[in-house]
């Protein structure tokens, strides 16, 4: 990756800044082509065009009460002492067009939700009436015009924008679109992201490790992170540290992939399989980014699809996902706000880190007496996934700081609810 080079005062290495590395990734990511998806699949997806009402909603005026549809002028003087007697000329039922008209002095029995018969302009609730027999009703209260009538078009008018382009469909939008008779809105689909774990030492979580073997945890961290970001993760399993095996696995998933994410094998060791497979060839660049954890990163295009080669350490995987992959996935889904919300919090304990890199320190954020408080969840080690599990945020310690003392105010990216 090209970009401004920083000089790390701890190591003296030339590193690419986080901003440049992220810009470089995002500048090459395009939103996925839109698809008409059934509502249940479109949940969480972004509308590509304004979705408008094809008719008034609701499309007919209906009763909000069980009672009688009448003309307000007929009952204008009704009271308990002087009830007005009306002739019952029929019944309006839900789901059916009324076959009667309400004339002067007439009433039609009506159920909640039933269409208002022609001629009526208000509903007398049943509790304000008395029926001496089937053909007569006595109204004991005056009712104003329009009372207890749900008018046609009250929710939306034909042509109104129901969901503007760019809006993400949530539960209310699903209901709104179903109501509007739009069962297949045009949205950006969820990217299918192929997850690969590289390493000869890895075994599945279901297997019992022999000495030196490690359960593949990164695939599951990435599965969860991708799912939570709105993507559809596909676990492609463990790939041995053999560049040909890696290329074969990737090729076998190409047809269903919108992107690939691998973990491990991007440093400089002889077993660094992702680097061995792609460095100096094709369109994947390997970069040292001024961040901790997550310094070595690979990014580019493989089989024409975005490829993220994340480092193998479990915490690096999580942080790299937050910094590079998640914003890219959201951009593919057409989301315009692609960053995590951040807050400012008071640090409870000192954090130490390298002066030449942005440090992403795992913290648990909670409410203190004076606003947000961030407690480091421990360990600088980038292999301690428990430190992420105890956290709900990443404190972002900028370049140029090695010791951040207790009591300092820090900016924290919140990656899950502080209530969880």
Report the interface residues with ligand AMP, using CB under 6 A: 197, 199, 201-202, 214, 216-219, 263-265, 267, 311-314
Among Mg ion, ligand AMP, none, partner that 295 touches (CB below 5 to 8 angstroms by kind): none
DSSP 162-203: EE-TTPBP-HHHHHHHHHTT--S-EEPPPPEEEEEEE-TTEE
Site for Mg ion in 365-384 (CB under 5 A): none
Residue 208: DSSP 8-state: P
CA nearest neighbour of 1 among 33, 27, 32 = 27
Site for Mg ion in 162-201 (CB under 5 A): 199
Do 142 and 76 meet the contact criterion of CB atoms below 8 Å apart? yes
Q: Is it true that the peptide bond before 293 is cis, omega within 30 degrees of 0?
A: yes
Among Mg ion, ligand AMP, none, partner that 1 touches (CB below 5 to 8 angstroms by kind): none
Among Mg ion, ligand AMP, none, partner that 214 touches (CB below 5 to 8 angstroms by kind): ligand AMP
- Distance separating alpha carbons of residues 44 and 27, to the nearest angstrom: 24
- Distance separating alpha carbons of residues 21 and 25, to the nearest angstrom: 6
Among ligand AMP, Mg ion, none, partner that 52 touches (CB below 5 to 8 angstroms by kind): none
Least gap, CB of 265 to Mg ion (angstroms): 5
CA nearest neighbour of 42 among 165, 187, 228 = 187
Among Mg ion, ligand AMP, none, partner that 59 touches (CB below 5 to 8 angstroms by kind): none
Least gap, CB of 200 to Mg ion (angstroms): 7
**341: which strand partners?**
none
- Distance separating alpha carbons of residues 205 and 341, to the nearest angstrom: 33
Least gap, CB of 95 to ligand AMP (angstroms): 57
Least gap, CB of 171 to ligand AMP (angstroms): 35
Least gap, CB of 301 to ligand AMP (angstroms): 21
CA nearest neighbour of 273 among 297, 303, 312, 246 = 246
**371: which strand partners?**
368
Site for Mg ion in 4-63 (CB under 5 A): none
The number of beta carbons lying within 10 Å of the beta carbon of residue 232 is 13
**122: which strand partners?**
70
Among Mg ion, ligand AMP, none, partner that 404 touches (CB below 5 to 8 angstroms by kind): none
Residue nearest to ligand AMP according to CB distances in the complex: 312
Cβ closer to Mg ion: 312 or 327? 312
Among Mg ion, ligand AMP, none, partner that 290 touches (CB below 5 to 8 angstroms by kind): none
Cβ closer to Mg ion: 265 or 354? 265
Least gap, CB of 407 to Mg ion (angstroms): 40
Least gap, CB of 13 to ligand AMP (angstroms): 17
Among 185, 230, 264, 306, binds Mg ion (CB under 5 A): 264
- Sign (positive or negative) of CA dihedral 82, 84, 85, 91: negative
Binding site for Mg ion (CB under 5 A): 199, 264-265, 312
């Amino acid at each position: 990756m090209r970009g401004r080079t920083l000089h790390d005062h701890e190591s003296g290495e030339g590193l690419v800044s986080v901003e440049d590395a992220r810009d470089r990734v995002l500048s090459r990511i395009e939103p996925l082509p839109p698809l008409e998806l059934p509502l249940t699949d479109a949940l969480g997806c972004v509308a590509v065009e304004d979705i408008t009402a094809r008719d008034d909603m609701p499309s007919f005026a209906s009763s909000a009460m069980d009672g009688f549809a009448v003309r307000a002028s007929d009952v204008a003087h009704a009271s308990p002492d002087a009830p007005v007697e009306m002739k019952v000329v029929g019944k309006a039922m839900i789901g059916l067009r009324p076959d009667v008209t309400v004339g002067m002095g007439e009433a039609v029995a009506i159920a909640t939700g039933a269409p208002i018969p022609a001629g009526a302009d208000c509903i007398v609730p049943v509790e304000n009436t008395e029926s001496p027999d089937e053909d007569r009703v006595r109204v004991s209260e005056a009712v104003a015009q329009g009372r207890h009538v749900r008018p046609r078009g009250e929710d939306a008018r034909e042509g109104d924008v129901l969901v503007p382009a760019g809006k993400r469909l949530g539960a209310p939008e699903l209901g709104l679109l179903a109501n509007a008779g739009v069962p297949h809105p045009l949205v950006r689909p969820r990217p299918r992201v192929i997850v690969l774990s590289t390493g000869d030492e890895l075994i599945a979580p279901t297997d019992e490790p022999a000495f030196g073997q490690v359960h593949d945890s990164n695939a599951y961290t990435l599965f969860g992170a991708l799912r939570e970001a709105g993507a559809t993760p596909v676990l492609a399993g463990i790939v041995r540290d053999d560049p040909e095996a890696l290329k074969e696995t990737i090729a076998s998933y190409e047809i269903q992939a919108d992107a690939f994410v691998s973990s491990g094998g991007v440093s400089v060791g002889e077993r660094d399989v992702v680097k061995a497979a792609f460095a100096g060839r094709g369109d994947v660049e390997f970069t040292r980014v001024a961040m901790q954890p997550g310094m070595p990163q690979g990014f580019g295009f493989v089989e024409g699809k975005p490829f993220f080669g994340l480092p193998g350490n479990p915490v690096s995987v999580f942080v790299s996902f937050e910094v590079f992959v998640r914003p890219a996935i959201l951009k593919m889904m057409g989301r315009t706000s692609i960053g995590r919300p951040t807050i400012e919090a008071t640090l409870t304990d000192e954090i130490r880190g390298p002066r030449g890199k942005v440090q992403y320190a795992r913290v648990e954020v909670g409410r203190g007496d004076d606003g947000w408080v961030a407690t480091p969840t421990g360990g600088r080690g980038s292999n301690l996934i428990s430190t992420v599990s105890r956290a709900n945020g990443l404190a972002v310690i900028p370049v140029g700081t090695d010791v951040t003392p207790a009591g300092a105010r820090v900016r924290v990216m919140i990656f899950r609810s502080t209530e969880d």
